[in-house]
């Protein structure tokens, strides 16, 4: 399956197949791509989370399934799905190996459907996708604000804890949690955790030490950040930092 995607020369991606899921991330030299990721294996489930960027997932083999806003998105080989920035989602495990590409881009400025069509055509013609070809296709489908952003309205909330949010809203903790979940499809505590993990992801991208990132983003220690980060993104903060702080 790895042969379906041509990685940068000299990049030790270390992908495998089987029951376990494997995630790999890196940042290419491209102003159009915040980050690229590849996912393979069977246990590719992740809990509810969201990203600061649009996530454009394209499946090369197997299938990917996502739950968003109580809707199931089933993505077959040669197809893709756009998960808008700020959209809570979770992925499901599969019974067969999958291999897919995750493209993280600035919110709302790329024609995702056109991009997926171009990738599908390239895959049929060549039997694989080279990452340089992928970068070129992404650049060709920039539409500068032509796509709706659909971002979560609860972003940049002025509260740090559920109790504080409830107090500011003049509600009980239970009432605030029920209203928040009904409105945004995600419990407030999970929302705040995802916000902190996204901030950690940003700081790790620019090379901040893991321990410093844990302290700055409000985790009790490096181990606490590590557990939450791996559960949400499939890799440890240390592995993520090493992968994305050196662009091929």
Query: What are the φ/ψ torsions at residue 148 (nearest 5 degrees)?
Result: -65, 145
Rounded percentage of the chain residues whose pLDDT exceeds 90: 56
The whole-angstrom distance between residue 100's C-alpha and the CA centroid of its chain comes to 12
pTM of the prediction?
A: 0.88
Rounded percentage of the chain residues whose pLDDT exceeds 70: 87
Question: How far is the CA of 153 from the CAs of 55, 156, 208, in angstroms?
Answer: 18, 9, 29
Does 35 have pLDDT greater than 60?
yes
Nearest to 104 by CA among 38, 50, 57, 34: 34
Question: Quick one: pLDDT at residue 152?
Answer: 47
Question: Quick one: pLDDT at residue 148?
Answer: 55
pLDDT in tens, 142-170: 986 555 555 444 455 667 788 888 888 88
List of residues 6+ apart from 227 with CB closer than 8 A? none
Pairing of strands 129-130, 5-6: parallel
Does 122 have pLDDT greater than 50?
yes
d(CA 122, CA 137): 10
Among 22-31, 79-88, 227-236, which is the least confidently predicted range? Answer: 22-31
Burial status of residue 97 (CB atoms within 10 A of its CB: 0-12, 13-18, 19 or more):
middle
Contact (CB, 8 A) for 47 and 69? no
Among 29-33, 49-53, 177-181, 205-209, which is the least confidently predicted range? Answer: 29-33
Question: Quick one: pLDDT at residue 243?
Answer: 87
Higher pLDDT, 247 or 6: 6
Among 46-50, 59-63, 118-122, 157-161, which is the least confidently predicted range? Answer: 157-161
Does 133 have pLDDT greater than 60?
yes
Hey, CA dihedral for 228, 229, 235, 238, is it positive or negative?
Answer: negative
Q: What residues form DSSP beta bridges with 57?
A: 81, 102
Question: Quick one: pLDDT at residue 165?
Answer: 84
């Amino acid at each position: 399956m790895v042969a379906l995607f041509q990685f940068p020369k000299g990049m030790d991606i270390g992908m495998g197949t089987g029951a376990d899921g494997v995630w790999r991330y890196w940042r290419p030299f491209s102003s159009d791509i915040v980050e690229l990721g590849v996912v393979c294996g069977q246990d590719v489930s992740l809990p509810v989370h969201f990203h600061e960027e649009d996530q454009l997932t394209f499946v090369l083999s197997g299938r990917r399934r996502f739950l968003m806003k109580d809707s199931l998105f089933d993505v077959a080989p040669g197809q893709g799905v756009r998960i808008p920035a700020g959209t809570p989602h979770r992925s499901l495990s599969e019974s067969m190996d999958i291999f897919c590409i995750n493209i993280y881009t600035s919110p709302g400025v790329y024609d995702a459907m056109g991009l997926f069509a171009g990738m599908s055509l390239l895959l049929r013609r060549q039997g694989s996708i080279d990452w340089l070809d992928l970068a070129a296709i992404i650049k060709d489908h920039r539409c500068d604000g032509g796509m709706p952003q659909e971002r979560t309205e609860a972003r940049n909330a002025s509260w740090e804890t559920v109790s504080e949010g409830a107090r500011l809203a003049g509600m009980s903790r239970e009432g605030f949690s029920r209203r928040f979940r009904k409105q945004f499809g995600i419990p407030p505590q999970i929302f705040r955790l995802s916000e902190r993990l996204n901030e950690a992801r940003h700081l790790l991208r620019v090379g901040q030490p893991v321990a410093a990132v844990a302290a700055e983003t409000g985790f009790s220690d490096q181990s606490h950040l590590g557990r939450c980060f791996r559960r949400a993104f499939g890799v440890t903060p240390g592995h993520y930092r090493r992968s994305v702080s050196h662009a091929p």
